Amino acid sequence: MVRYFKTEDGYAKQIEQPEPGCWVMITPPFEPGELEGLAETFKVPFEYFMDSLDIDERSRYEIEDGVPLIVVNTPVPNDPERRGKYEAIYITAPIGIIPLEDYTLTLSRINSPVLMYFVERRVRNFDTKDQKRFILQIFNVINMLFIENLKKLNLKRHFIEAELYSSSRNEELKQLLQIEKSLVYFVTSLRDNELLFLKMKRTDFLHIRQDKDLEELFEDIIIDNSQALEMANVYTNILSSTMETYASIISNNLNLYINRLSIIAIILMVPTLFASFYGMNVRLPLQDHPYAFYYIILLSLVVVLGLIYILHVKKIL
């Protein structure tokens, strides 16, 4: 599906046909042969489309036949129906940005939340004609979403930890595993994005070196990406140690329960032992006494209480 947008009153407005200075947004679903036709219409190498739609594509940029391509990874909520119980809550997916002379093309495998920020008019000072600033604004929204989702993951981790204090189940650990997988995606993508941004700045790929305003914006983007990467690394380390600690706590709780059950079994064994003795078909003391039953019960109770006292003194019980 192809949609065309141009800026009107500082916000994106959808138009029917492409115009010079507009934004061409290419997202699924795709009709058969649609991508080939778009590549021919805009004179873009078809490989650019395939690279941008590859879920495992790394962040990079290149120029082929004078046409530039920027591939940058973005955070995406994982589909709950597809991810299963133990898959990551968030994954990352690439966006392809192709800055042409008259148009700015973006391609994504899914309806990216990053691009929806522009469609839903949530970005200020947005102008499709100002191609360089538009690309930098995309980078800025990507960083913002990474940081926002990292905070959500960390908050979710806090709630799960609170449940783990009084739980011996594995369900909470499985939820922490989902968060850990999400953080792995984030760390990998943020590291790739950082290398991309630094290389683009060093080579002046966007030709903004003479524009102090855009250069400062790019510097801020690099700083925000580094901040998000540092947050992701810190959260990953905390989560790893948390999972190890609480796995040990759960194991200790189970050992405690087993220890208590063992003590109860030992205590209950005493009256069972007396009952076994007096259930034998041989002559036994007090067997002819009219109160033999009560004496045996009393003796069993005394032995049990003595055993409990000894276990308490030894701090076993």
Q: What is the pLDDT of residue 81?
A: 67
Strands 67-77 and 90-99: what pairing? antiparallel
| pLDDT tens track, the chain, 317 positions | 899 999 887 788 899 998 999 999 999 888 888 899 999 999 999 999 999 999 999 999 999 989 999 999 999 998 776 655 668 899 999 999 999 999 999 999 888 899 999 988 888 788 899 999 999 999 999 999 999 999 999 999 888 887 776 665 677 778 888 899 999 999 999 999 999 999 999 999 999 999 999 999 999 999 999 999 999 999 999 988 887 777 777 777 778 788 888 888 888 887 777 777 677 666 667 666 677 677 777 878 888 888 788 877 777 66
CA proximity to 30, closest of 48, 3, 67: 3
CB of 140 within 8 A of CB of 76? Answer: no
CA distance linking residue 21 with residue 129, whole number of Å: 4
The pLDDT of residue 225 is: 96
Residues in the chain: 317
Residue 59 CB neighbour total at 10 angstroms:
23
Instruction: Report the candidate in 137, 149, 279 with the shortest Cα–Cα distance to residue 218.
Output: 137
Q: Is 169 exposed, middle or buried (0-12, 13-18, 19+ CB in 10 A)?
A: exposed
Measured between alpha carbons, how far is 102 from 22 in angstroms, rounded to an integer?
Answer: 7
CA 206 – CA 217 distance, rounded (Å): 12
Q: What is the pLDDT of residue 290?
A: 74
Note the pLDDT tens digit of each residue in 177-230.
889 999 999 999 999 999 999 999 999 999 999 999 999 999 999 999 999 999
What is 254-313's CATH number?
A: 1.20.58
**All residues at 6 or more sequence positions from 31 whose CB lies less than 8 Å from its CB, including other chains:** none
C-alpha distances (whole Å) from 251 to each of 170, 254, 256, 264 are 11, 5, 9, 20
Give the pLDDT of residue 271: 79
pLDDT at 165 (0 to 100): 67
Fold match flag (2-252 vs 254-313): no
Q: Are 26 and 1 in contact (CB under 8 A)?
A: yes
Cα torsion angle, 296, 297, 299, 304, sign: positive
**Residue type at position 56:** D
What is 2-252's CATH topology? Beta Polymerase; domain 2 (3.30.460)
State residue 299's pLDDT score: 77
So what's the pLDDT on residue 261?
84
pLDDT at 199: 95
pTM: 0.80
Q: Where are the domains of the chain?
A: 2-252, 254-313
Q: What distances in angstroms separate CA 299 from CA 50, 94, 145, 290, 291, one per listed residue?
A: 85, 78, 72, 16, 12
